[in-house]
Amino acid sequence: MKPTDPESRGPALTRRRLLTAGVIVPVTGAAAARVIQGDMPWQESEAAAPPAATHGPAQSGYLFFAAAEGVFVEAAVARLIPKDDLGAGALEAGVPTFIDRQLAGDYGRGQDWYMQGPWGEGEPTQGYQTRLTPASLYRIAIREIDDAVNKEGRAGTFAKLGADDQDRWLKQLEEGKAQLATADAKSFFQMLMQNTLEGFWADPIYGGNKDMVGWKLIGFPGARYDHSPFVTKHNQRYPLPPVAISGRPEWSKG
């Protein structure tokens, strides 16, 4: 699927928009890691690597998403960051797996959020104001979007729409114009967009950024332990491949 013009056809990100957005993306959750014991190892792959999330429903199944929800998210993120001639998009990078693992954990439950009342209508500067946890917002919004798409009559669900109609619906969600039964369309889109960016650029250990495709796109070195040889080499392309928290595939001892 070719990327669309975000100004005229929806919120899908082109590579130029992605690289020039200047977005600082926080990671929504954290994976448990083992502690390195004793002296810092110097051998590649000798560090105590934390456990990684498995990629994709074909391998492990979604932990949070029901089948219809997974299909929706796969279709939506594929339009937000589409695959193009520069490389993989959000779907190929495993972003649905990242979002699923986050929603199945503390982030999805709003574990560290203040979730008590009052729940009056807030100002835009106050951020997320709904009483729904992220997991609940996803579950309700996806169901109501599919219901609204079905009532429109062009397809039974969002995932079955053509690319242009999917972009049209995402644009309506982004602008808060989509009429959903109870969920706030704009709040859901903002969360989906933020989580998609997080999954595209977070360390692969969290389930997205498969094969470090996001880092390779922007030249990010990742979790390398020593950059001293390159500190004084200004305006020069970084020559080494990125390294994830769990290392590189070439370091595996099989």
Here the tokens at position 254 are 């099989």
Task: Judge whether 249 lies within some domain.
Answer: no
**Total residue count of the chain as it appears in this document:** 254
Q: How confident is the model at residue 130 (pLDDT cuts 50, 70, 90)?
A: confident
Task: Judge whether 157 lies within some domain.
Answer: yes
| Percent with pLDDT over 70 in the chain | 74
Task: Judge whether 181 lies within some domain.
Answer: yes
What is the structure's pLDDT at 254? 44
Q: For 92-121, how does the pLDDT look when each residue is reduced to its tens digit (9 = 90+)?
A: 999 999 999 999 999 999 999 888 888 877
DSSP state of 64: S
For residue 209, is pLDDT > 60?
Answer: yes
Task: Judge whether 97 lies within some domain.
Answer: yes
Mean pLDDT of the chain: 83
Here the tokens at position 2 are 């070719």
Mean pLDDT of 212-227: 90
Task: Judge whether 88 lies within some domain.
Answer: yes
Backbone angles phi, psi at 87, to 5 degrees: 150, -165
Mean pLDDT of 137-163: 97
What is the structure's pLDDT at 42? 53
The domain of 85 spans 52-114+128-221
| Percent with pLDDT over 90 in the chain | 57
Highest mean pLDDT among 195-199, 216-220, 225-229: 195-199
For residue 222, what are the β-bridge partners?
Answer: 243
Residue with tokens 């082109």: 14
Contact 15, 217 (CB under 8 A): yes
Distant-in-sequence, close-in-space partners of 173: CB < 8 Å, separation ≥ 6: 145, 185, 186, 188, 189, 192
Distance, CA of 13 to CA of 95 (rounded, Å): 14
What is the structure's pLDDT at 45? 54
Task: Judge whether 61 lies within some domain.
Answer: yes
- How many structural domains are present in the chain? 1
Q: For 18-50, how does the pLDDT look when each residue is reduced to its tens digit (9 = 90+)?
A: 655 545 555 555 445 555 555 555 565 555 555
C-alpha distances in angstroms, 153 versus 1, 147, 156, 160, 176? 23, 10, 7, 11, 21
Contact 87, 217 (CB under 8 A): yes
218-252 residues labelled b (16+ CB within 10 A) or e (exposed): eeeebeeeeeeeeeeeeeeeeeeebbbbbbeeeee
pTM of the shown model: 0.78
Task: Judge whether 4 lies within some domain.
Answer: no
SS3 percent helix, strand, coil of the chain, rounded to 5, is 45, 0, 55
Task: Judge whether 89 lies within some domain.
Answer: yes
